[in-house]
């Protein structure tokens, strides 16, 4: 989806419905009874402005002009972007005020984007598009690698990466008081709110609230109020003022009904607060004193969305929660975890038998959810050996591996295989896993936990019979083999290819 300049805009908070003007004009000469139309050729003034725009663009795109930049902005990922203070100060009141500070020590001043933008992160690509507009007056097409997801079935009209990119552009343009760009992004978000998944409307609503975009805010509030998102989720993720408005609107629409429902809601809130405070003992006490169960409170869903991974493990260890229970929206805890993309939560659910093939009412699996939230840039990024891995790619790889695991679980080791061959195979897989831990620590940790390989160590047992010894070697080999399968993302390295 490409963000393009819409000329139906006027300055102000709301969007105008003024007529659209095209680049070619037609005038009537007024002679006779017929209207003779004369087409105007290229406007010299427009040509001059276009040339000026192209020249200023060199400061951004041409390395030969980098030395003329007199300041730097550090954006997400510690990427340094050179800027020209003269141009930015003339185009933005915010930068005009910021750059009034004198140059210290003859060095280029450096500004941290994270310190300037109060709400949300702004990536390198969004900063470059914003600077392009300030320098040239033109909007570049949305960079595809950060505005498209890796779901092959998505049309990329309202997927997670596109919304996040638009919000980054909004954060930057609103902070730096670039009103035309704010209006443009607001128009774009208004066009996609109705097509977005309900979960993706929440960050749009929060941004509209913080930056006082009243038209966008009212549209989002109306859609959320009529949705099936529960009040627990809304209270957790929305500013109190916004949640209060939605709550009142739902009461008016009679979406919150009887007094008994309110009593049940308070009991569920106590359970969720116990989870928030990491107090499992309090959780047990609340369960014993009320008629509300973990499943009725959707406690595992809540923990998967908001709590520390260790709390997810502790809730699962109680043995009182259905790991594949669907909430009122038809989501299992694994679906919820797919939106959060925390590997340790994923491991906890999978180790308790969570079904990867379960679908939401609209037919999406946990893999589909994760793919629709993952940028092409992140998924295709090649990390150097030993560097922290991208959680998005790791999450998708683990889920896809688990989906295929039914085929591999039946893979056994022939019983007639001699002990010598078992030791040879064990050495191979032990070495492979050791290399994995060294070169790909994040992936190795997740794979080892899923296969439970650390606990199934191959220790020497005295007075062990030959049959028991062979059986133990078989078990260890199968565990390591499963670990290797979970490391299928090592396909980029020949050392870890599975024969």
- The two tokens of residue 241 are 């003022």
Token pair 């009725």 is found at 296
Give the angle subtended at the CA of 134 by the CAs of 375 and 140, to the nearest 5°: 40
**Which has more pLDDT, 384 or 192?**
192
Nearest-angstrom CA–CA distance, 318 and 225: 35
At 378, the pLDDT band (50, 70, 90 cuts) reads confident
| Alpha carbon of residue 315 to chain centroid | 26
CATH architecture of 260-373: Alpha Horseshoe (1.25)
Out of 27-31, 274-278, 472-476, which region has the weakest mean confidence (pLDDT)? 27-31
The two tokens of residue 185 are: 């992004």
- Report the alpha-carbon distance of residue 278 to residue 166 in Å, rounded: 35
Confidence of residue 413 (pLDDT cuts 50, 70, 90): very low
Give SS3 for 237.
helix
> What is the C-alpha to C-alpha distance for residues 23 and 179, in angstroms, rounded to an integer?
22
The pLDDT value given to residue 487: 44
Percent of the chain with pLDDT over 90: 32
Among all chains, which residue has been given the structure tokens 């402005």? Answer: 49
Which DSSP category does 74 fall into? Answer: E
Higher pLDDT, 69 or 493: 69
Phi-psi region of 238 (alpha: psi -120 to 50; beta: other; left: phi over 0): beta
pLDDT tens track for 72-85: 899 887 888 888 88
Q: pLDDT at position 24, please? A: 35
CB atoms within 10 A of CB 315: 24
Closest CA to 379 of 400, 401, 397, 402: 397
Mean pLDDT of 420-445: 57
pLDDT for 412: 47
Q: Where are the domains of the chain?
A: 46-252, 260-373, 413-496
* Per-residue CA distances from 49 to 25, 54, 135, 166, 471 (Å): 18, 9, 12, 27, 79
Q: What is the mean pLDDT of the chain?
A: 76
Please give the pLDDT value at position 241.
94
The pLDDT of residue 387:
63
Q: Which two three-digit tokens encode residue 169?
A: 């552009």
The reported pLDDT for the residue numbered 471 is 60
DSSP structural state of residue 383? P
pLDDT in tens, 205-239: 999 999 999 999 999 999 999 998 888 889 999 99
Task: Please compute the mean of the pLDDT values over residues 350-357 and round it to a whole number.
Answer: 90
The fraction of the chain above a pLDDT of 70, given in percent, is 68
Range in 81-95, 113-127, 293-307, 386-400 with the lowest mean pLDDT = 386-400
Q: Which fold has domain 46-252?
A: Potassium Channel Kv1.1; Chain A (3.30.710)
Per-residue pLDDT band at 251 (split at 50, 70, 90): confident
Residue 216 has a pLDDT of 95
| Closest by CA position to 72, among listed 127, 132, 142 | 127
For residue range 135-152, list pLDDT tens digits in order.
Answer: 988 888 888 989 999 998
The full 3-state SS of 76-141, as one line of letters, equals CCCEEEEECHHHHHHHCHHHHHHCCCCCCCCCCCEEEHHHHCCCCCCCHHHHHHHHHHHHHCCCCC
Helix (H, G, I), strand (E, B) or coil at 480: helix
Round to whole Å and give the CA distance between 205 and 49: 37
Got the DSSP string for 411-473? ----TT--HHHHHHHHHHHHHHHHHHHHH-HHHHHHHHHHHTTTTS-----TT--HHHHHHHH
Strand partners, 111: 73
Which one, of 207, 204, 198, lies nearest residue 226 by Cα?
A: 198
d(CA 132, CA 218): 31
Q: CB burial class (10 A; 0-12, 13-18, 19+) of residue 269?
A: middle
Other C-beta atoms within 10 Å of 397: how many?
Answer: 23
pLDDT for res 414? 43
Give the pLDDT band (50/70/90) at residue 191. very high
Which one has a higher pLDDT value, 94 or 487?
94
By the 10 Å C-beta count (0-12 exposed, 13-18 middle, 19+ buried), 379 is classed as middle
Which of the two residues, 474 and 279, has the higher pLDDT score? 279
Mean pLDDT of 75-100: 87
Cα 403 from Cα 182, distance rounded (Å): 43
What's the first-to-final CA gap in the chain, in angstroms?
A: 41
At residue 405 the predicted structure's pLDDT band, cuts being 50, 70 and 90, is: low
358 vs 349: CA distance, rounded Å: 13
Strands 37-39 and 71-75: unpaired
Q: Over range 169-194, report the average pLDDT.
A: 93
- Residue 28's SS3 state is strand
Give the count of alpha carbons within 13 A of 200, CB side only: 23
Tell me what pLDDT residue 137 has.
87
CA dist 203 and 122 (Å) reads: 14
User: In CATH terms, are 46-252 and 260-373 the same topology?
Assistant: no
Whether the CB-CB separation of 375 and 146 falls below 8 Å is answered with yes
Maximum average pLDDT range among 100-109, 194-203, 425-434 = 194-203
């Amino acid at each position: 989806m490409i963000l393009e300049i819409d000329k139906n805009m006027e300055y102000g908070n709301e969007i105008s419905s003024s007529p659209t003007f095209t680049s070619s004009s037609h005038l009537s000469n007024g002679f006779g009874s017929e209207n003779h139309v004369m087409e105007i050729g290229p406007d010299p003034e427009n040509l001059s402005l276009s040339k000026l725009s192209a020249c200023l663009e060199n400061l951004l795109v041409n390395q030969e002009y980098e030395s003329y930049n007199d300041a730097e902005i550090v954006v997400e990922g510690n990427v340094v972007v050179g800027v020209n203070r003269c141009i930015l100060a003339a185009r933005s009141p915010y930068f005009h005020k910021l750059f009034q500070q004198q140059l210290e020590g003859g060095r280029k001043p450096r500004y941290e984007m994270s310190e300037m933008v109060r709400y949300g992160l702004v990536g390198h690509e969004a900063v470059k598009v914003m600077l392009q507009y300030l320098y040239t007056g033109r909007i570049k097409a949305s960079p595809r690698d950060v505005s498209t997801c890796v779901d092959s079935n998505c049309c990329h009209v309202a997927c997670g990466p596109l919304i996040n990119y638009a919000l980054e552009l909004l954060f930057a343009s609103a902070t730096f008081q670039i009103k035309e760009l704010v209006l443009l992004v607001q128009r774009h978000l208004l066009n996609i709110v109705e097509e977005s998944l309900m979960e993706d409307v929440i960050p749009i609503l929060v941004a509209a609230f913080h930056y006082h975009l009243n038209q966008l805010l009212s549209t989002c509030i109306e859609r959320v109020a009529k949705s099936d998102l529960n009040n627990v989720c809304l209270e957790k993720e929305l500013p109190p003022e916004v949640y209060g408005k939605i709550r009142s609107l739902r009461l008016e629409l009679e979406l919150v009904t009887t007094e008994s429902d309110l009593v049940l809601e308070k009991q569920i809130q106590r359970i969720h607060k116990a989870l928030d405070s990491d107090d499992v003992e309090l959780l047990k006490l609340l369960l014993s004193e009320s008629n509300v169960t973990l499943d009725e409170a959707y406690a595992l869903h809540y923990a998967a969305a908001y709590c520390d991974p260790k709390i997810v493990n502790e809730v699962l260890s109680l043995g009182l929660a259905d790991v594949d229970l669907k909430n009122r929206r038809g989501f299992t805890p694994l679906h919820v975890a797919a939106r959060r993309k925390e590997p340790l939560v994923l491991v906890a659910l999978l180790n308790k038998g969570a079904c990867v093939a379960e679908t939401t009412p609209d037919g999406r699996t946990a893999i589909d959810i994760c793919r629709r939230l993952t940028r092409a840039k992140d998924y295709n990024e090649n990390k150097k050996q030993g560097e922290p891995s991208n959680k998005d790619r790791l999450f998708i790889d683990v889920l896809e591996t688990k989906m295929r695991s039914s085929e591999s679980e039946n893979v056994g080791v022939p019983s007639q295989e001699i002990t010598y061959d078992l030791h040879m195979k064990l050495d191979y897989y032990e070495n492979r896993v050791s290399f994995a831990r060294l070169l790909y620590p994040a992936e190795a940790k997740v794979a080892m936990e899923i296969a439970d390989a650390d606990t199934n160590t191959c220790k020497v047992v005295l007075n062990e019979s030959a049959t028991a010894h062979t059986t133990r070697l078989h078990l260890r080999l199968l565990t390591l083999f499963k670990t290797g399968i979970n490391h299928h993302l090592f396909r980029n390295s020949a050392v870890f290819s599975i024969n």
